[in-house]
Structure 1
Amino acid sequence: MFDFVDYFAGVGGFHAALDGLGGRAVQACEIDPKAAAIYEHNWNLKPEKDVRELAQHPDTIPDHSVLTGGFPCQPFSKSGRQLGVAEDRGTLFEDILKILAAKQPPVVMLENVRNLAGPRQSAAWSRILRGLREAGYRVGSRPTVFSPHLLSPDSGGAPQVRDRVYILGVWVGRDRAMTEVDLDPVVPHEVEQGWRVGDWNIESDVLLPDPSAADIHRYKLGGDEIAWIDTWNELLQMLGDAKLSGFPLWEFAWHERRPNGFRTMPAWKQRLVEQNRDFYLAHRGAIDAWRSRDREIPLSRFPASRRKLEWQAGSGERNLWKHLMQFRPSGIRVKQATYAPALVAMSQTPIFGPRRRRLTPLEAARLQGFDPATFSFADQSDSASYKQMGNAVNVGVVRHVFKAFVEKNADDIAACGPAGTSILESLGIDVPLVSTSVAAS
């Protein structure tokens, strides 16, 4: 058994993954009281409240072999302001560095949004790598990015596209860490050999038996929502075999003339308006007939985001009720019900068309790799539960990436002494004979 600390712990994705590999959490930290309550309920460990306090008092931190942390993603997310380490939450990473310097666990594993390693966050990415190396941890410059839908069910995969960056380091001392930087990603961003992502099926791989009649109404779509979907279905039928565009369809932009203010729009919006205008002119008869139909809720009363359709179901049946949907600010997104888009900490819960309902919180937990038979939201509200799943790390991916990292770095992990060998032994990896020169480095 090896000991680990679980910081920015959320509801316990890292905990579930490492516990399944023989780890034992000796400390957790989570500032969100709702997430902390779920964590304590499931793992029988009460999280500390603030990692900044722990960084100031490292003597309160138990010795451990692995430090994990899904440090705040909002400063780096595409859905945020992307201020990176310039935002206060982005500087919490510095507290992780203080703890690593004080405790020197053999392995560190961090998780964040893919955008962290993107071009807009190059300064933040470089700062993170430099900080870890100065603390003595060897980390590669090329990011490890992985998603649960790339793994088969037998390997712990789940039908959710959720690319995340995983930063893993082994303690080798500052001199080696600053020079040994040209490393391959821990795992390649590719589908597991022998698996086909098109074999995922939301109904069989995610959905649980419908809740009782007393509860099912909480997840069923309302009258307005059904009307929005039925209205778009009417258009799909009237368009027949006409090719659906690869761009979002904007009903309010379907006019013969360009709208007022067109030339002052940003380039991306001008492009979409032009594409929608061309689409309208090509299918004017069907669109005008569709618009002129009498409805209880006319198109003009639809919310702006429901007058947009993002068809991503390819050649699938042109019936929204046959697919997976999301109500997003960018429109009604439709894709085939193989694997789901990434869960987010906002009200964009996937809708399973054939059952005309949203996924339940436990089904969302299943997308994140939690076992619905043992995991509980501790009687919290649905909205709070969905939020926690949007913020969670995927259990199966953490387990997959961590095992691969330990196998690749067994020699240096063993050189860290008993704290390192406990990791190898727990994972069933033969402990290498460490030479004196390796141990001394």
Structure 2
Amino acid sequence: MSSKDPAFTFIDLFAGIGGFHAALSALGGECVYASEIDEAAAKIYQHNWEMEVHGDIVPETDPVVKVPKHDVLAAGFPCQPFSKSGFQRGMDEARGTLFWNICRILEEHRPSLVLLENVRNIAGPRHAHEWDVIIRSLRDLGYQVSSTPAVFSPHLLPPWMGGAPQVRERVFIVGTYVGDETAWDEVDPIVTNKPVGSWNPQDWRLSEILEAEDEIVDRANFDLTPAEQTWVAAWADFVRRFRELDIPKLPGFPIWADAFVHEDDLVIPDETPAWKANFLRKNAEFYTQYRTVIDAWRDAHDHLAGFPPSRRKLEWQAQDAATLAECIMHFRPSGIRVKKATYVPALVAITQTTVLGSPLRRITPREAARLQGLPESYEFPGQPDSATYKQLGNGVNVGVVRHVARVQMARSGDRWAQVAASAGVTDSVTA
């Protein structure tokens, strides 16, 4: 299909670096308008998609001034608080928020489909009011949407359907324009937060998305610092010593070197919170049982002298993994968290980049881009890696967006069912 004859047109609001664009263009769509207020992200979008990116969808007068007609509105919109005062409802209450600008565009152009994405917490109890306003506003505009949050993650989608080894739960609000008469009819959520079909997420292998070591540009940039290597070496030795005792599983509670005291010597002040008291008791019991091996380990590593408090804790979540080398790690404020190298936690727009046990390094920007489902051709020129990690952490997963859009298309009438079918999805698809 040529670019002059797209299956549909779409606009990309709060566009980031273009995850929605990648997903919808793969389904045959053509982007006719994009907006992103972050200049660095907009430059990456423009570089990869070779189109103008508007700095804001909120002109001083009216957000619909520059927006052309389109078939699909896509937006990873920020969650802003809505007023809880008075008796305002629906669109009236959305005024003054960025979501209101989406509503104004929908009101003006009435695109056939709307595809919104947000963080998991928007559907949580603390944002119940905001959720209610969003759903009512869309229904007021004639869009049939589910009031049940549609939560999904790329690790629940098999690789042949565009999944990725990353736990990234996001909420999708997807609607089809049906008019006032049936907009308030309840429908099932577009996806459910469980694996698709018979796919088992434990079958993911993070190694399959890694770059070859000799092909990584500026390879030394991803090495750990000497201090970080010291932390890892100490805890790797800790795991090794226990595995040599044929102990199949390390404690599931955080292992805290500063809490290693004999049970008989444990003193817990009265004001200690219950959770911490339990934590201290478990570590004392663990130390008492394995005192000989733990003391030998501490002596071998100078009792972790110079380790920051958060690096004196090990959060073992790798079940029966034999060594630290076969795991992944995250340097968190709560401790060094260790997991099996199946899939990674969500990429975030801050530190805590995933650390590989072997080869001992951080994941590269290219590997992070693969975790977000971006094409291999995607480039991030002229910026430091820290900016790229941040942009990827703020982005959407391409495979998940494509899956959600295809399933919605398959149940949105003949025209959209044909688009979905051409992308390998029929009415019988199960989400």
Matched AA of 1:138? Q
Work out which of the residue numbers 399, 407, 429 in structure 1 matches 2:402.
Answer: 399
Question: Pairwise mapping of residues 123-202 of structure 1 onto structure 2 (< 5 A)?
Answer: 123-177=129-183, 179-181=184-186, 183-202=187-206
Matched residue, 2:36: 30
State the distance in 2 between where 1:277 and 1:73 align: 44
Matched AA of 1:269? K
Question: Pairwise mapping of residues 368-387 of structure 1 onto structure 2 (< 5 A)?
Answer: 368-372=372-376, 374-387=377-390
Matched residue, 1:223: 226
Task: Specify every segment of 5 or more residues in structure 1 that has no aligned partner in the other structure, as ranges.
Answer: 77-87, 412-420, 431-441
Q: Secondary structure of the equivalent of 1:59?
A: coil
Q: Is 1:313 matched up with 2:291?
A: no
Matched residue, 1:62: 68
State the distance in 1 between where 2:235 and 2:339 align: 14
1:31 Cα offset (Å): 1.0
Matched AA of 1:283? Y
Matched residue, 2:237: 234
Scaled by the length of structure 2, the TM-score of the pair is 0.86
- Is the 1:263–1:270 Cα contact (8 Å) retained in structure 2? no
1:75 Cα offset (Å): 7.8
- Is the 1:54–1:60 Cα contact (8 Å) retained in structure 2? no
Deviations 1:97-127 (A, max 9, x none): 2222222111111111112112222222212
Matched residue, 1:303: 308
1:246 Cα offset (Å): 1.6
State the distance in 2 between where 1:302 and 1:129 align: 49
State the distance in 2 between where 1:74 and 1:286 align: 52
Matched residue, 2:13: 7
Matched residue, 2:328: 324
Q: Is 1:278 matched up with 2:280?
A: no
Q: Is 1:91 matched up with 2:94?
A: no
State the distance in 1 between where 2:123 and 2:59 align: 28
1:286 Cα offset (Å): 2.3
- Is the 2:234–2:301 Cα contact (8 Å) retained in structure 1? no
Matched residue, 2:210: 207
Q: Secondary structure of the equivalent of 1:50?
A: coil
Matched residue, 1:418: none
State the distance in 2 between where 1:229 and 1:238 align: 14
Compared with structure 1, are the counterparts of its residues 279 and 35 closer, same or farther at alpha carbon in structure 2 (3 Å cutoff)? same
Matched AA of 1:387? K
Compared with structure 1, are the counterparts of its residues 300 and 13 closer, same or farther at alpha carbon in structure 2 (3 Å cutoff)? same
Q: Secondary structure of the equivalent of 1:264?
A: coil
State the distance in 2 between where 1:199 and 1:135 align: 43
Q: Is 1:292 matched up with 2:295?
A: no
Deviations 1:248-283 (A, max 9, x none): 2222222345567x4434443343333333323332
Matched AA of 1:385? T
Deviations 1:393-434 (A, max 9, x none): 0001101111001111226xxxxxxxxx4x55544479xxxx
Question: Pairwise mapping of residues 354-433 of structure 1 onto structure 2 (< 5 A)?
Answer: 354-372=358-376, 374-410=377-413, 421=415, 423-428=416-421
Single out whichever of 91-100 and 37-46 deviates more from structure 2: 91-100
Q: Secondary structure of the equivalent of 1:309?
A: strand
Task: Specify every segment of 5 or more residues in structure 2 that has no aligned partner in the other structure, as ranges.
Answer: 1-5, 83-93, 424-431
State the distance in 1 between where 2:179 and 2:65 align: 21
Deviations 1:163-204 (A, max 9, x none): 111110111223422x312x2221232222243322221112
State the distance in 2 between where 1:331 and 1:67 align: 41
State the distance in 2 between where 1:358 and 1:248 align: 23
- Is the 1:313–1:335 Cα contact (8 Å) retained in structure 2? yes
Q: Secondary structure of the equivalent of 1:355?
A: coil
State the distance in 1 between where 2:35 and 2:271 align: 48
- Is the 2:73–2:113 Cα contact (8 Å) retained in structure 1? yes
Q: Secondary structure of the equivalent of 1:162?
A: coil
Q: Secondary structure of the equivalent of 1:301?
A: coil
Matched residue, 2:85: none
Compared with structure 1, are the counterparts of its residues 270 and 109 closer, same or farther at alpha carbon in structure 2 (3 Å cutoff)? farther
- Is the 1:407–1:429 Cα contact (8 Å) retained in structure 2? no
- What do you get for the CA RMSD once the two structures are aligned? 2.5
Compared with structure 1, are the counterparts of its residues 3 and 294 closer, same or farther at alpha carbon in structure 2 (3 Å cutoff)? closer
Q: Secondary structure of the equivalent of 1:108?
A: strand
Scaled by the length of structure 1, the TM-score of the pair is 0.84
State the distance in 2 between where 1:235 and 1:286 align: 9
Deviations 1:27-48 (A, max 9, x none): 1111111111100000112211
How many correspondences in the alignment? 400
- Is the 1:55–1:99 Cα contact (8 Å) retained in structure 2? no
Q: Secondary structure of the equivalent of 1:53?
A: coil
Q: Secondary structure of the equivalent of 2:27?
A: coil
- Is the 1:55–1:95 Cα contact (8 Å) retained in structure 2? no
Compared with structure 1, are the counterparts of its residues 425 and 286 closer, same or farther at alpha carbon in structure 2 (3 Å cutoff)? same
- Is the 1:55–1:96 Cα contact (8 Å) retained in structure 2? no
Matched AA of 1:227? T
Compared with structure 1, are the counterparts of its residues 35 and 251 closer, same or farther at alpha carbon in structure 2 (3 Å cutoff)? same
Single out whichever of 245-254 and 37-46 deviates more from structure 2: 245-254
Matched AA of 1:274? R
State the distance in 1 between where 2:178 and 2:418 align: 20
Deviations 1:331-363 (A, max 9, x none): 111111111111111111111211111111011
